[in-house]
Amino acid sequence: MSTPDKLHLNRDHALHLLRGMLRIRRFEERCAELYTEEKIRGFLHLYIGEEAIAVGAMQSLTPEDAVCATYREHGHALARGLPMTTLMAEMYGKRAGCSGGRGGSMHLFDAASRFYGGSAIVGGLLPLAVGIALADKLQGRQRVTACFFGEGAAAEGAFHESLNLAALWQLPVLFVCENNLYAMGTALDRSESETHIFRKAESYRVPAESVDGMDVIAVEVAARRAAADIRDGAGPRFLECLTYRFRAHSMFDAQLYRDKAEVEAWKQKGPILRFGQWMQETGMLDAAERDAMEADIAAELDEAVAFAEGGAAEPVEELTRDVYTEPRS
């Protein structure tokens, strides 16, 4: 195991990163199929195209750190180590899901890995991340809280209030902005006067940088550096990761707001395509190994789908459970 603050880019680690991104890609492709089969319902926001950010940034965290994410968080949950089985069961709304089936795609939770959701209110978890970090600081723990959000959150008041509070109190928060250029259908330059989101963070005296979010190594390097500073007690850090969503905002989006050519151009810069090609060119991965990796992931996915299919639905009699903590008997 490498230490969280240093990147050791050997073959094993490169394989680990590629595998991490591929697991997310294949999981979500299957989710999209299952959606059309009406096995998964509600909203389904796919992370396809943005996998390098969750996988890269997560390398900087230890198991004791905390993660807050958005409604486009399947990738973060997988990269954080939630099993594909309970994740898929959650997509199905089954009792065995990672949130007991009550949350669904947008509300993935896992106490064991300090994964605090899964919030479907844009910017809504930034204040929580600040508070989790405050609790760690007050209790003298050297932990990082990583908070992922889209660039749309920068238009919300909670974003500005949270950055100010984190900077003012020098709290151990790693803010990771996933700038995919569209807040649902609204292009960044149609909604922000300052389109470099990291500059907003700098205005709160949070050290911030812009990162190529399509490059898993670039994200990992930046995140490790930021997390190391945070662990040293240097206060919050901010990464703006430039990325692109290859699929629609949700399953109900006809994508009339962007050109197909633009989407295609970004796909050519895809994080898995690029990194996979680089690994092949440098001799880290041959075609047979890639096939074996794909076969492994397909098997894991089949197992996850079978687990979800076989999971029990929660009895309706339990409808009102988990609204309040049950009194201890």
Partner 1 sequence: MSDAGVEMTYREALREAIREALNRDPRVFLMGEDVGRYGGCYAVTKGLYDEFGPERIRDTPLSESAFTGAGIGAALGGMRPIVEIMTVNFSLLALDQIVNNAATIRHMSGGQFNVPLVIRMATGAGKQLAAQHSHSLEGWYAHVPGLKVVAPATIRDARGMLWTALEDPDPVVIFEHVMLYNRSGPLAADAGAVPITGAAVRREGTDVSLITYGGSLFKALEAADALQQEGIAAEVVDLRSLRPLDDATIMGSVGKTHRAVIVDEGWRTGSLAAEISARIMEQAFWALDAPVGRVCSAEVPIPYPRHLEDAALPQVPDIVAAARATLGR
List interacting residues with partner 1 (CB under 8 A).
66, 97-103, 107, 109-111, 116-119, 121, 124-136, 138-139, 157-158, 161-162, 164-165, 168, 321-325
Half-sphere exposure for 7 (CA within 13 Å, toward CB): 21
> Least CB distance from residue 315 to partner 1, whole Å?
14
Task: Please say which residue, 84 or 181, places its beta carbon nearer to partner 1.
Answer: 84
Is residue 145 within 8 Å of residue 132, measured between CB atoms?
Answer: yes
> Least CB distance from residue 155 to partner 1, whole Å?
14
Long-range contacts of 188-196 (CB under 8 A, 24+ apart): 188/151, 191/152, 191/155, 192/151, 192/154, 192/155, 196/240
Task: Please say which residue, 17 or 91, places its beta carbon nearer to partner 1.
Answer: 91
> Least CB distance from residue 124 to partner 1, whole Å?
6
Read out DSSP for 123-147?
TTTHHHHHHHHHHHHHTT----EEE
In terms of Cβ atoms closer than 10 Å to its own Cβ (0-12, 13-18, 19+), residue 17 is buried
E strand or H helix that includes residue 183: strand 182-183
> Least CB distance from residue 44 to partner 1, whole Å?
17
Task: Please say which residue, 66 or 211, places its beta carbon nearer to partner 1.
Answer: 66
Cα–Cα distance, 74 to 88 (Å, whole number): 10
Task: Please say which residue, 36 or 139, places its beta carbon nearer to partner 1.
Answer: 139
Radius of gyration of the chain (CA): 19
> Least CB distance from residue 324 to partner 1, whole Å?
5
Task: Please say which residue, 105 or 180, places its beta carbon nearer to partner 1.
Answer: 105
